[in-house]
Chains A and B, each alone.
Chain A
């Protein structure tokens, strides 16, 4: 795709030439499918779910050595992804997690687990092991050391224990949530696990509930301003210092969890289409950078640490071309600093390390 653009693009040449100064590393891959989600298994393995018309696949790829080797590694020749294991799945995958050597998939028919074959296995095909639940459509997932939590709304948040294979409903949750109508389900867009707590972000309101797993109690309620309209997503930094809200209308807020009264970061993005739901907000593994995507063809990175004033650190505009309309997903490498992966709706996966 972009290779044929190579023939035409003088402007493409220009962007690439300029990129030499802006990026430390820049790599682009044609995945030949629409990437619906991606997650790192560890520093050198990336899992991708991609769909092409009616064929849905999940791949385990090895991350090119060039990206993980580090500046003192010397000569590294490998800049390509290798397919290690893969499987066809009957449905598209909305969200994915890796636990031990299993991958948990959430899609339109519920949540299930596939086995990832090891290198000593004769096959490289992942196999379906079991279904965790079949009562949800595109449930959101998060994981603790031994459990997978999944939900589509506050009344169906369950805990699947990996050791015992038992599913239990977090039944004490709904009653602690403020609802106009007892029967109103209140859908959940994200759950994030952080040291014994679940941060549960509602989709229709800018509210995140902090639920303590040990006691079963909601210990905190974090609210974004302008909570009424749009579709909300949330992320919590790894050290739990910050909570970030992003709304489909373009409103983005970050709060210091110790001082919720005042937003540390507040931005209103121009949004053409207010019905988008692929907007994503993420904290970098080191915590002080915030990345945003889904509002346009860009992935934007901001500094939300104390003295920074929320300045924009970098704007990745490598997803170019008229046919591309949005970024479907992006994610930070778990340990390499400033290394981000992003995928657009035309099947391109890009790995970029900004300066």
Chain B
């Protein structure tokens, strides 16, 4: 039974790092190569020694990276340059452009702030990216003669993709992180009904029922409004490629509606970077943004203006969007240092912060931050956290399964949460199995193969011409056959008016394809001489008297039983039944011998005649 093997690579606790090994159709593929941000030692990297000690090039056919978040690509340079891998790495174009930016940022923090030594270098990041082959959405890419991959839009972040992988007749879909509800700047994930053998989905939020986007946004606005109402300043550190565009639109609309006069700013660096990337990858965002972008600059707002460093010291309330998002350097950190000591102020962190950054420290409650130049800052301002990142929750996972109709589902990287109920739910709704391997555990998913079988036209015509019988005779006989065949095509359940016919033929496997042909055609195809089997039963009876008398008596008997038209007397010692079964009567002192002869096609008739004769002429 062919199978797909999946092993999530792990080293202990594993939330927040993706790296999945898959063996499908004899090919080994690594899906994502993420880093665990919570550890400072080797535990942050996946345990590649599971594959082998030393370079991995010979053991992997390819690597696929779903998107640029560090928990999906953070360990890539380590793997390719320090462990060793020279094969192809596949990702979408935006991912290729953005990965090195984030990797470099992270590297700087690790080395310069945390003083790490054995970390990958900038050169390594560059060398790693040279191995990347970009993939376009919905384009099938041949990795080699057997393995093909295809990327689908995943939503979530710019450039994120879900991958469909096919080797021969086995296929799987890996989702990476995805999002089933469209938001203001990215569309929702989309995949066709590809019916893969296996769907591998992230399940961090599988048992979560998430608060609506609208309410999160409302909360964001409320926090900002409350802060400026009390005269405070609000700093919002952002990633140029995150939701800054969305948050700006939101704030701008709100300010307009509520007629607020408090100034809002964005830093120029932020605008430039965002514009640069969005321009490059305009096809990756949704319709709305594309429309906006075509007609105007993305950062042209009614109430939001470019920031100048000198404004930092202006009195009174204000709101500023500034990069970088983790407060580890640059303008956002400078502003933070200025505003942190005032309890009326607020900083709203937009998402995850890497360990070692100021962002990470304040999110963990630090009340004082020390800096290298012996200065320090009191953290009296309110620290808020606002994550808009959209992940697949319980509802999203069910939607995706409904969409692509996999034969099996696998959930990876959940928080060791019990998933018995979710498995039950998937079984209940879709009648498919759900797997949830632990880290380092291999799941083996059996795959059934659909084989294409060609049916010969003469045979088909012959079968169609036969009357529909309700008998349940078996449909295949074979002289040479392999595994069971199944004819492709429609579900008979779908169309109950279709009548079933039994096809009786020979399954021939020749030159790697399968054909069902009629028996007579088969002889020719196989170059085999047709053979006929003829059985002869020798029945000894006690009849005395001349041979013709016995012949005549038999003739009468059989005519009675079968009808006179069926039985012919050929001559005095021979009868024929239905033109194919022959009965010879011989003299065999003291009795007679009846030879009953039939071909294998007349098995039924032959047996019947045998019974009749035997029961009427008993040997004493």
Please give the residue numbers on chain A whose beta carbons come within 8 Å of chain B beta carbons, in ascending order: 2-4, 6-7, 12-14, 16-17, 19-20, 26-32, 55, 61, 64, 74-75, 77, 79-88, 122-125
Contacts and interface: CB of A to CB of B under 8 A. Distances in A.
Query: Which secondary structure dominates where chain A touches chain B?
Result: mixed
B208 interface: yes
B210 A16 contact: no
Contact of B215 (A28, A61, A81): A28
Nearest to B184: A6
A122 B210 CA distance: 25
A124 B207 CA distance: 11
B208 A80 contact: yes
A55 B421 CA distance: 14
Given A28-B214, A77-B387, A83-B208, 19 more contacts: A3-B181, A3-B182, A4-B182, A13-B253, A17-B258, A28-B212, A30-B212, A30-B395, A32-B395, A55-B429, A64-B211, A77-B385, A79-B216, A80-B209, A84-B207, A87-B421, A123-B418, A124-B417, A124-B418
A13 to B, nearest CB: 7
B514 interface: no
A55 B428 contact: yes
B385 A29 contact: no
Contacts, number: 99
A125 B424 contact: yes
Interface size class, chain B:
35 or more
B258 A28 contact: no
Contacts of A80: 205, 208-211, 393
A333 B383 CA distance: 27
Given A17-B221, A75-B363, A124-B419, A3 B209 contact: no
B419 A14 contact: no
Contacts of A77: 385, 387
B394 interface: yes
A81 B208 contact: yes
A64 B383 CA distance: 19
Given A77-B385, A88-B428, A14 B257 contact: yes
A13 B421 contact: no
Contacts of A75: 363, 365, 383-385
Interface string B200-236: 0000010111111111111101100100000000000
B385 A12 contact: no
B392 to A, nearest CB: 13
B332 to A, nearest CB: 18
A32 B208 CA distance: 13
A208 to B, nearest CB: 37
A81 B207 CA distance: 8
Most buried by A among B205, B218, B221, B422: B218
28 contacts: A2-B212, A2-B214, A3-B183, A3-B212, A6-B214, A16-B214, A16-B218, A26-B215, A26-B218, A27-B211, A28-B211, A28-B212, A30-B395, A75-B363, A77-B385, A77-B387, A79-B216, A79-B219, A80-B208, A82-B208, A83-B209, A83-B394, A86-B421, A87-B421, A123-B418, A124-B420, A125-B420, A125-B421
Residue from A2, A17, A122 having most chain B Cβ neighbours under 10 A = A17
